[in-house]
Structure 1
Amino acid sequence: MDKIISCCGVVCTECKSFPKDCKGCPEIKGKVFWLQYTGEDICDVYNCCINEKQMEHCGRCEYLPCQSYSRDDPTKSPEENAEDHRKQIEQLKSM
């Protein structure tokens, strides 16, 4: 399987929610399953990067990491979120 990477730097194909709960942001257009916990319609990182700035990924943004990267996935622990954010930024810088 080819590696699928979201605009935020998440490697979708390495996520425990892929593909059962989430098909990856390139496929679902930022409408991730955990939005049910936040009440939003679309992930703010996806919306900013893809819809507003029309960038391929956040690694091209001069503001990386921005305030959006301080938000946590409500389904994960603080430690898991911190590690995820670290991996996302590392992934984006390598792209």
Structure 2
Amino acid sequence: MMHFKDHKLTPEREFRFHDTRRWRFDFAFPERKLAVEVEGGTYTNGRHTRGSGYEKDLEKYNEAAKLGWKVLRFSTGMVSKGEAIKQVLEVIEG
């Protein structure tokens, strides 16, 4: 995400956060336990909005929460409009 570079942020991409499951975050700041997920296909009946894909996402995000992660979720539109980076910065800058 180019917005990270614009703000000199260097999250880890495809960060595996779970010891036994293959779950990964799109972007992660492990030292802060902050994850950023970009949910594609929200208007095209993509994986994240269909039944089984949605349930699998719920399982992943609930497990992340139990492990102490804060997960910010965004649509691609929110990323394009700059809403995502604004919220990420709000969390990082506290």
TM over 0.5: no
Higher normalized strand content (fraction of residues): 2
TM-score by length of 2: 0.33
TM-score by length of 1: 0.33
Bigger-Rg structure (1/2): 2
Higher RCO (CA 8 Å, separation ≥ 6 residues): 1
